[in-house]
Structure 1
Amino acid sequence: MRGGEDATKSQDVIDEQVLYVSMSRPFIFSVAAGARERLVQAEVQLMVRGEAKMATAKRHLPLLESTLLAVLSRQDADNYLTAEGKRMVRQEAQNELNQVLAEELGEGLVEQVLFTGIVMQ
Structure 2
Amino acid sequence: MAEEEAAEGEEAAAKPQAQYVSMTPAFVGNYGSGPRIKFFKAEVSLRVSSDDAAAKVTANEPLLRNQLVMLFNAQPDEALATVEGKEALRKEALAEVQKALKEEAGSELVEDLLFTNLIAQ
Normalised by the shorter chain, which TM-score bucket?
A: 0.7 to 0.9
Relative to the length of structure 1, the TM-score reads 0.83
Structure 2 unaligned spans of 5+:
none
Q: Number of paired residues?
A: 116
Mapped to 1, the partners of 2:14 and 2:56 lie a distance apart of 18
SS in 2 for 1:24: strand
Q: Following TM superposition, by how much is the alpha carbon of 1:37 offset from its aligned partner in structure 2, in angstroms?
A: 1.9
Structure 1 unaligned spans of 5+:
none
Structure 1, 74-83 or 33-42: larger mean CA deviation: 33-42
Q: Following TM superposition, by how much is the alpha carbon of 1:108 offset from its aligned partner in structure 2, in angstroms?
A: 0.3
Mapped to 2, the partners of 1:29 and 1:80 lie a distance apart of 13
Instruction: Give the equivalent residue in structure 2 for 1:55.
Output: 55
Mapped to 2, the partners of 1:61 and 1:45 lie a distance apart of 11
Aligned 1:107-118 pairs, distance under 5 A:
107-118=107-118
Relative to the length of structure 2, the TM-score reads 0.83
Mapped to 1, the partners of 2:77 and 2:111 lie a distance apart of 25
Q: State percent identity of aligned pairs.
A: 33
Opposite residue 87 of structure 2, the aligned amino acid is: R
Instruction: Give the equivalent residue in structure 2 for 1:103.
Output: 103
Instruction: Give the equivalent residue in structure 1 for 2:69.
Output: 69
Aligned 1:16-31 pairs, distance under 5 A:
16-31=16-31
SS in 1 for 2:110: coil
Q: Following TM superposition, by how much is the alpha carbon of 1:10 offset from its aligned partner in structure 2, in angstroms?
A: 4.5
SS in 2 for 1:102: helix
Root-mean-square deviation (CA, aligned residues, Å) is 2.0
Q: 1:94 to 1:10 in 2, by over 3 A?
A: same
